[in-house]
Structure 1
Amino acid sequence: MIQQLETDRLFMRPFIISDAKNLFGMDNNPKVHEYLWQQPTLEREESVKIIEYILGQYERNQIGRFATFLKKTDEFIGWTGIKFIDDHVENGHTHFYDYGYRLAEEHWGKGYATEATGKWLEYGFQEMNIPIMHAYAHHENGASNRVLQKTGFTLQETYPDSAGVLWNWYAFNNPTLKP
């Protein structure tokens, strides 16, 4: 598994348990969860369990979400990365590669999501040879939908989850693979 990815302003590395404090700080903010089922993390132990789950994904699939930091200051800004969905069904799909990210509120609107997304797509397509990358975003989350579209994802459909909340389903075919 890759140990670090870098962009001009960011570096991304696998999560470690000691990242729980930073993860909790981000996920405890209700604004961060406005388009994520409205359930902020309430206790630090929840963040430890999330990281343990991610560590299991690394072991099982050799990929997962990475802790993401500013190069200049080593400040944690959130997580970004590719995840292999093999433990649930999303929009009728399972066993697929999904790109996602979540950033702390103070880092919104600075281009970090777009920058990280570009690097992860490059890695997923060129190094992992993923044929199709998927992503999904809350239908009303304009910022995330713009990031996905700006970086090359194409909206496939809008679908309701089990609670009736609408989500946008995206796909991006690997441009380095021959048809």
Structure 2
Amino acid sequence: MNLILETDRLILRELQLSDAEAFFAMDSNLKVHQYLWNKPVQKIEETIEIIASVRKQYIDNGIGRFAMILKETNEFVGWAGLKYNTEVVNNKVNFYDIGYRLDEKFWGKGYASEATFTWLKYAFETMNIKTMEAAAHTNNAASNKILQKIGMQMTEQYLEDGVSWNWYQLENENYNLG
């Protein structure tokens, strides 16, 4: 893939192995995983495996999570993007979801909203995706707020391994069957 998207403050590009150190710093932070099963990565090798898995999604599905790079400093902010989900989540399979994860030092600055607005536009206008899906831990106020801000509607709550999640959807009003 040679896709690069830009926002006012961010460059959204493919995750690379060169992102592993900054990605590991983000993903090993317990606060970052507070609403993600409280299972931060323990070794950089786990991060390298995650990056390899995402890179395989680029090949298999033509899309995946992308690195968010701050234009001003070239810092790794986190990741955001689309995923074609082939595993069962909330009794659904084979759907596109939108997601994001940020290093703690970049929380509360609007980067996740900025990136997800851009990804949603790309999904609907360029990829012609009919429905966008997303999930957020019920108690994660910040993540729920971001999904609502980009126009997604909570359609239900579901339990996974005893944890409550909010399920969001947004229909592409300009979806073209052709």
Regarding TM over 0.5, the answer is: yes
Counterpart position of 1:94: 93
TM-score scaled by length of structure 2: 0.97
Q: Does 1:5 align with 2:5?
A: yes
Between the aligned residues of both structures, percent identity stands at: 51
| 1:1-179 equivalence runs, <5 A | 1-86=1-86, 88-161=87-160, 163-177=161-175
Q: State whether residues 152 and 168 of structure 2, in contact with CA within 8 Å, keep that contact through their aligned partners in structure 1.
A: yes
Report the aligned-residue RMSD. Answer: 1.1
User: How far off is 1:175 after superposition?
Assistant: 2.3
CA distance in structure 2 between the partners assigned to 1:129 and 1:178 by the alignment: 7
Unaligned runs of 5+ in 2: none
CA distance in structure 1 between the partners assigned to 2:38 and 2:91 by the alignment: 23
CA distance in structure 2 between the partners assigned to 1:9 and 1:33 by the alignment: 25
For residues 57-111 of structure 1, give each alpha carbon's deviation from its aligned partner in whole angstroms, at most 9, with x where no partner exists.
011001000011111111000000000001x100000100000000000100001
User: How far off is 1:28 after superposition?
Assistant: 0.7
State the SS of the aligned residue for 1:59: helix
Q: State whether residues 77 and 102 of structure 2, in contact with CA within 8 Å, keep that contact through their aligned partners in structure 1.
A: yes
TM-score scaled by length of structure 1: 0.96
CA distance in structure 2 between the partners assigned to 1:106 and 1:16 by the alignment: 21
| Superposed structure 1 runs of 4+ greater than 6 Å apart | none
Q: How many residues align?
A: 177
Unaligned runs of 5+ in 1: none
CA distance in structure 2 between the partners assigned to 1:153 and 1:46 by the alignment: 31
User: Which letter does structure 1 place at the counterpart of 2:174?
Assistant: T
CA distance in structure 2 between the partners assigned to 1:78 and 1:129 by the alignment: 26
